[in-house]
Structure 1
């Protein structure tokens, strides 16, 4: 089951969303057949992440509600609540977002005698801080968002390069919202360098999403050169 889910993430990372959905659908059927509610919750969480990514946060909220009913492990619940907070933030639902962020923090700090399910074992304080920051960005709380993202980046283990590339784009978005163009350009360049080195198309796609905002600052030294480089990136 885990192998099928991992293949789904590979497809997702390469922008092959239909194929990712087919693989996750198979993984969900396998989880149901095996009576593995925890793994089923993890697959639903993958679907929800994809829904939010594709601009369907309301679908993501609903999917995560079902996922939360399938697991009691605190680490798993923390991740699911954090992802639902992201979806609420995308919808502009501040109160619901803050409730889920608070619950995610409490859950992450709770102890369990059982190890976390493998699909969420990586979840930690860095993820909570950075994704909390992204929620705050979506809700217009730019200064607080920047502080949380910086905090999370400092906590992120060095081995998680792809996650670092994604987080760097969040950091760049915060800088752009504050008109700190030089800082945005620096971290965006770092993200693109990292994505190119490790072969992470999804990170490149996130950098591309920042291009329209960067184009407003073409007069700033280095911006046009970066945009030209981005246009050539695979």
Structure 2
């Protein structure tokens, strides 16, 4: 939109309210150069851009404005802060009216896979940032992310504040290259953690924006394994929403740069899951090859793992392999693997245990065994409610129609009553 076109749109917005606006091209130019529009003018700007009126936060100009047409900030030498700003802006919206397309996400993954292999230089100006402050943010972030599952559900506001602080430091601070690298790494890690919070609550556009912001900052830090992990999370979300074409595309791009065996294990597991879920005979062999690759990478993985995939274990390999085999029709073997994986999972990962239990319930239903299915589905639902994970509750809700033919089986009426409560 040109300056003249925006000015005309603002004048028209004022006219529709029986008022006049003196906005012209020169005033728009002043706004672009840092002069803050009045609250009234910001309202007219919103209408001229076709945005919801409740987007306006006059005390946060211009951060409430969308930065892109499709929600995806392109990778570039100075894209890390704009991507963070876009995520923070999206999270402040009272309603989300835009969904990021699979094509836009696949294009972003392709740009990442084919981009420069070195860290991206950022401009450094403003007030000096101390090593002590960054160390404090790193330490407290690690502590918050390491809390037990039921406590982590209460940390969202603290993590949001940490990410906002890191964004301000990156944008307005002055720091040496080593400190800049740490700030980008911290921004990537925080973005990933916040994204999972949003994803668990079903806020998919918000989660996507935070994962995208994390990708920009991992790219700026030159951390390709972290970048691959963030793409893997976007792929997991796409698969969760049944967009397996996008998920497979993103994962294949992520695998081009991931190096750590634990990271490659997780990527291959997720690729196997999404290939199997597509239900095509032609995908059976690629899915089995991905499972075999995941097993090999896990065997090769040592103690030196990126923090974001340090948790990948034999339990994850067993359950995700079992779920893939379930989709491929190998029900008996799938049931054994899912049961074994759930048994191996440590108690500290109760949210994941809830997901695994839901998978096990599905495998029991495939075997037409409603009693054990009801028992583990009940456990899954109770764990999901205790840990505050609506996403996990949805897994059980999706199974409920399959229990309807077994309403007289032991445990089924109680499960249905619990789910309705």
TM-score band, normalised by the shorter chain? over 0.9
Secondary structure of 1:109's match?
A: helix
Match 2:276 to one of 77, 81, 89: 89
Aligned partners of 2:260 and 2:301 also within 8 Å: no
Give 1:175 shift: 0.3
Give 1:31 shift: 1.5
Alignment partner of 1:39 is 2:229? no
Alignment partner of 1:98 is 2:285? no
Give 1:62 shift: 0.8
Alignment partner of 1:138 is 2:327? yes
Secondary structure of 2:300's match?
A: coil
After TM superposition, list the pairs within 5 Å mapping 1:49-128 onto structure 2: 49-92=236-279, 93-112=283-302, 115-128=304-317
Residues of 1 paired with 2:356 and 2:411: CA distance?
A: 22
Residues of 2 paired with 1:54 and 1:138: CA distance?
A: 16
1:187-212 deviations in whole A, cap 9, x for unaligned? 00111111122222111111101011
Residues of 2 paired with 1:179 and 1:202: CA distance?
A: 25
1:201-231 deviations in whole A, cap 9, x for unaligned? 1111111010110112123243233212202
Q: What is the TM-score with the length of structure 1 in the denominator? A: 0.95
Give 1:157 shift: 1.1
Extract structure 1 runs of 4+ deviating beyond 2 A: 219-222
| Corresponding residue for residue 379 of structure 2 | 190
Aligned partners of 2:263 and 2:306 also within 8 Å: yes
| Corresponding residue for residue 29 of structure 1 | 216
Residues of 2 paired with 1:205 and 1:40: CA distance?
A: 28
Q: What is the TM-score with the length of structure 2 in the denominator? A: 0.54
Residues of 2 paired with 1:150 and 1:75: CA distance?
A: 22
| Corresponding residue for residue 153 of structure 1 | 342
Give 1:171 shift: 0.3
Unaligned 5+ segments in structure 1 are none
Bigger Cα displacement from structure 2, 149-158 vs 131-140: 149-158
Cα RMSD, aligned residues only: 1.2
| Corresponding residue for residue 212 of structure 1 | 401
Residues of 1 paired with 2:368 and 2:400: CA distance?
A: 14
Give 1:132 shift: 0.4
Give 1:111 shift: 4.2
Secondary structure of 2:406's match?
A: coil
1:103-129 deviations in whole A, cap 9, x for unaligned? 1000100145x7111111100100000
Residues of 1 paired with 2:201 and 2:296: CA distance?
A: 34
Q: Say which one has the larger Rg.
A: 2
Residues of 2 paired with 1:59 and 1:73: CA distance?
A: 23
Bigger Cα displacement from structure 2, 28-37 vs 79-88: 28-37
Q: Which has the higher contact order (CA 8 A, sep 6+)?
A: 1
1:71-129 deviations in whole A, cap 9, x for unaligned? 111110001000000011001221111000001000100145x7111111100100000
Residues of 2 paired with 1:208 and 1:94: CA distance?
A: 28
1:20-51 deviations in whole A, cap 9, x for unaligned? 00111111111122222111101000000000
Larger fraction in helix: 1
1:142-166 deviations in whole A, cap 9, x for unaligned? 1110111111112111211011000
